[in-house]
Structure 1
Amino acid sequence: MTQLVTRNLDISVAIPTYNGATRLPKFLDALFNQVDIEQLNWEIIIVDNNSSDNTSEVISNYQKIFSAKCSLKYFMEPQQGAAYARLRAVREARGDLIAFLDDDNLPAPDWLSSAYNFGLEYPKAGVWSGQIHGAFEVKPPENFAKIHAFLAIREDGEQPHLFEPDKLRLPPGAALVVRKKAWSDNVPQKPKLSGKLPGILVQGDDYEPLLHIHYAGWEIWYNPTMHTYHQIPHWRLEKDYLLKLARGCGLCVFQLRLINAKNWEKPIIFIRTVLGNLRRILKHFIKHNNHLNDDIILLFEMEFYLGSLLSPFYSFRCFLRNINQKT
């Protein structure tokens, strides 16, 4: 009796979403209009992370539109947090490659083909990301380029190059392609950093799996031919949001540096994190004290340094909280 073998797809496009009903139509239209993909076997996976709007209805309507082009699947992930949504997407994906896109990150028409072709050209790459341009609802503040990477904007030139994971120089989780094998073989099913939750902006959830993949020996690349456009509403440039973002980006630093660290290295990482950021804070204060109150970029940098300084203590508090929950 002949056994039917199911062939893997070439690529799965995975979209974690939360209350994305108003963003998804424009995003899905951009996916529908991808070019040079006639030979690709691909699918779209949307993971709904407990939306309270009509996200499921919007997706249902688009499933009919996509039926002749590719499979559009919908899954509900009840565990809150972007990290859990990504893990669910990987479990459900049938592609050898998984292309992660956020619902506010619009891909250029050739994004998918550029993503796939780069994987063929760089077989040692376990992860690759491209250029992410800001599409701003309002004009960003002066000198915004100094901090635009914190809002998942990457414009690093026209030449491919390796990222530097050991220095925490990594691409964001949006507009990112991974080999499913690299992820499945190395990324734990229980993340230490779950991602943004209501009222909590602690970051690092997109870096955590990449560090596991890097330490397993895979390369992480920048592919300049992949272009996406990050839709940034006005409220993400307001002072309150930016300062919470800066603090959240800092609070994950120590935990990220512990990934793959040996026990004897952890006290050294603790000391370097505390003393290094204390030095940065003092230097920043001495240099910019007269302008901190009226320059949001300088204030953002100071808040990030403070969060990084506090990150070992935040990590220890989370550790104690987990112990208390288990007992």
Structure 2
Amino acid sequence: MTEIVNKNLDITIAVPTYNRASYLPKLLERLFNQIDVEQLNWEIIVIDNNSTDNTSQCVQDYQSKQLSNLSLRYFLETKQGAAFARLRAVREARGYLIGFLDDDNLPALNWVAQAFVFAKEHPQAGAWSGQIHGDYEIKPPAGFEKIQAFLAIREHGAQPLLFKPEHLQLPPAAALVVRKQAWCDNVPQQPQLTGKLPGLLVQGDDYEPLLYIHKAGWKIWYNPSMHTYHQIPSQRLEKDYLLDLARGCGLCICQLRLINAKSWQKPIVILRTFLGNLARFSQHMMKYKFNSKSDLISLFELQFYFSSMMSPFYYLKQICKKRLKSLYKIKSSI
């Protein structure tokens, strides 16, 4: 295996961002004030995914006052989508560890140190995440804990544990740490799932790289010593946003389950995905006696089960589109 990382740096903290210049100062201040990092060689990189606000100026302002032993670098990634921003971050990172923080994350002041310690203690860990707590602008609705994981809130207790990728039990890309080698050796440069875009709500882009890393034999861990706070504005608790989120998370389920499936397994995976979620959808309807419209949380669950049930058809539709596009290109070139 060819070594591809710069051993001069221990860890790169990568911040993919899009039109969140108002959020960046809080995050950068947290990073500039990290503790127990005196012995670490590390850097921060901001990946601007085509922002139209003053993101670049915000980063420049912080570059002018950056610490002498900490580099802050800025990159513009013009290919839209969170998956492409992360791929650019991996290419530019000079650390053999990469810690991803979303622009609305607020890491605890020992987050970087705890991420590095865990890497040393768990050499077979290809990726790990920690506790992600909600920092809510308004109080969430009753029963919100049932769906909080969809908003990247993860609180799995005080003991380390292994995630179960085979059941799609994985951490979000927010506040995730990976070994650059594990990523570069196994994650394709062209993602199947690019992340939420205008007119394209399908998600799953944060799980896709982890499935490839796990297939290669790396472990995916939960490290409770890493604490992050996810800022959640009031609009993310509104009905329209939550139902769009449920739909986007559901429609990617079949594609995620197919990523590491062998060719002969794919028809089985497609059928099981449909039938399993049909059962969940039906049970949910019976449980709430068709009155889930009055309960936002149960309505969210209903939308997720329905979209998961429809995900095989969405996947097959995308395959047909790609093949038709390829045929069109061939005919145009003749």
- 2:164 alignment partner AA: E
CA contact (8 A) 2:32 2:67 kept: no
Unaligned runs of 5+ in 2: 330-334
For residue 65 of structure 2, give the secondary structure of its aligned residue in structure 1: helix
- Partner Cα separation in structure 2 for residue 301 and residue 289 of structure 1: 14
Bigger mean CA offset, 5-14 vs 87-96 = 5-14
- Partner Cα separation in structure 1 for residue 316 and residue 149 of structure 2: 27
Identical-residue share of aligned pairs (%): 64
The answer for the alignment partner of 1:216 in structure 2 is 216
Bigger mean CA offset, 114-123 vs 66-75 = 66-75
- Partner Cα separation in structure 1 for residue 324 and residue 65 of structure 2: 49
What's the offset of the Cα at 1:99? Answer: 0.2
CA contact (8 A) 2:143 2:297 kept: yes
The answer for the alignment partner of 2:206 in structure 1 is 206
TM, length-normalised to structure 1 = 0.97
CA contact (8 A) 2:6 2:96 kept: no
- 1:147 alignment partner AA: I
- 2:297 alignment partner AA: I
What's the offset of the Cα at 1:43? Answer: 0.6
- Partner Cα separation in structure 2 for residue 324 and residue 274 of structure 1: 25
Aligned pairs (5 A) from 1:288-303: 288-303=288-303
- Per-residue deviation, residues 215-257 of structure 1 (Å, max 9, x unmatched): 0000000000000000000000000000010010000000000
1:21 and 2:21 correspond:
yes
Name the Cα RMSD after superposition. Answer: 1.2
Bigger mean CA offset, 234-243 vs 192-201 = 192-201
The answer for the alignment partner of 1:116 in structure 2 is 116
For residue 128 of structure 2, give the secondary structure of its aligned residue in structure 1: strand
Bigger mean CA offset, 216-225 vs 308-317 = 308-317
1:225 and 2:225 correspond:
yes
For residue 289 of structure 1, give the secondary structure of its aligned residue in structure 2: coil
Unaligned runs of 5+ in 1: none
The answer for the alignment partner of 1:277 in structure 2 is 277
What's the offset of the Cα at 1:6? Answer: 6.3
1:157 and 2:153 correspond:
no
What's the offset of the Cα at 1:65? Answer: 1.5
1:35 and 2:38 correspond:
no
- 1:10 alignment partner AA: D
- Partner Cα separation in structure 2 for residue 6 and residue 201 of structure 1: 36
- Partner Cα separation in structure 2 for residue 71 and residue 262 of structure 1: 43
The answer for the alignment partner of 2:268 in structure 1 is 268
What's the offset of the Cα at 1:288? Answer: 0.7
For residue 315 of structure 1, give the secondary structure of its aligned residue in structure 2: helix
- Partner Cα separation in structure 1 for residue 323 and residue 56 of structure 2: 37
What's the offset of the Cα at 1:289? Answer: 2.3
The answer for the alignment partner of 1:171 in structure 2 is 171
- Partner Cα separation in structure 1 for residue 199 and residue 132 of structure 2: 26
- 1:129 alignment partner AA: S
What's the offset of the Cα at 1:97? Answer: 0.2
The answer for the alignment partner of 1:197 in structure 2 is 197
For residue 230 of structure 1, give the secondary structure of its aligned residue in structure 2: strand
1:238 and 2:238 correspond:
yes
- Per-residue deviation, residues 115-140 of structure 1 (Å, max 9, x unmatched): 00000000000000000000000110
- 1:80 alignment partner AA: Q
CA contact (8 A) 2:7 2:96 kept: no
For residue 154 of structure 1, give the secondary structure of its aligned residue in structure 2: coil
TM, length-normalised to structure 2 = 0.95
- 1:239 alignment partner AA: K
Change in 2 beyond 3 A, CA 1:238/1:226: same
- 1:38 alignment partner AA: E
- Per-residue deviation, residues 70-120 of structure 1 (Å, max 9, x unmatched): 111100111100000000000000101000000101000000000000000
The answer for the alignment partner of 1:91 in structure 2 is 91
The answer for the alignment partner of 1:101 in structure 2 is 101
- Partner Cα separation in structure 2 for residue 20 and residue 64 of structure 1: 20
What's the offset of the Cα at 1:190? Answer: 0.2
Aligned residues: 323
For residue 65 of structure 1, give the secondary structure of its aligned residue in structure 2: coil
- Partner Cα separation in structure 1 for residue 181 and residue 97 of structure 2: 8
The answer for the alignment partner of 1:253 in structure 2 is 253
- Partner Cα separation in structure 2 for residue 277 and residue 225 of structure 1: 35
The answer for the alignment partner of 2:129 in structure 1 is 129
Change in 2 beyond 3 A, CA 1:6/1:230: closer
Change in 2 beyond 3 A, CA 1:290/1:265: closer
